[in-house]
Amino acid sequence: MATDRYRTVDEYLAAQSPERREQVEALRDLVRDAAPELAEIVKWNSPDYTLDGVDRLTINAAGRGPVRLILHFGTERPEDKGAVPTFTDDPAGLLTWHSDIRASLELPPPDELEAKRAASAAVIRAWLAHEAAG
């Protein structure tokens, strides 16, 4: 069984490189602006956001790839990696789908962040309002 390395988001941030910490903070700001009602916790060794006790967003900054926000429904819903997503509120095509109920939103590069902020926030709000069949 995996153990959590971090008890708080501050501990998580302290363990990141300065560049990675800046990217995570930018994504945290985006989430807080889009949905200030979310509770921020640490789960799966990452900042995680819950709505009514259900994990809905998780920051993924592991590895060398881009920092991403994972949009999901926690671990309780069955996931079909071959099924078509039911979520359609992504007119700018910002999401990369991994299953019918899990997608990722990549942090835009610094020079594109402000231009994509409103569209990203709209996708986050729509995702939180979305109830996938299940």
pLDDT digits 0-9 by tens, 92-131: 999 999 999 999 999 999 999 999 999 999 999 999 999 7
Helix axes 110-129, 18-34, angle to 10 degrees: 40
Q: How far apart are CA 126 and CA 44, in angstroms?
A: 24
- Name 75's bridge partners: 73
pLDDT at residue 5 greater than cutoff 80: yes
Q: Could you tell me the residue ranges of all domains in the chain?
A: 9-129
pLDDT digits 0-9 by tens, 51-62: 999 999 999 998
| pLDDT for res 59 | 97
- 87, 127 in Cβ contact below 8 A? yes
| pLDDT for res 33 | 96
Mean pLDDT for the chain overall: 92
The model's confidence at residue 1, banded by pLDDT at 50, 70 and 90, is very low
Q: What is the DSSP letter of 55?
A: E
pLDDT at residue 19 greater than cutoff 80: yes
Give Rg (Cα) of the chain.
14
pLDDT digits 0-9 by tens, 68-102: 999 998 888 889 999 999 899 999 999 999 999 99
Question: Topology of domain 9-129, per CATH?
Answer: Aspartate Aminotransferase, domain 1 (3.90.1150)
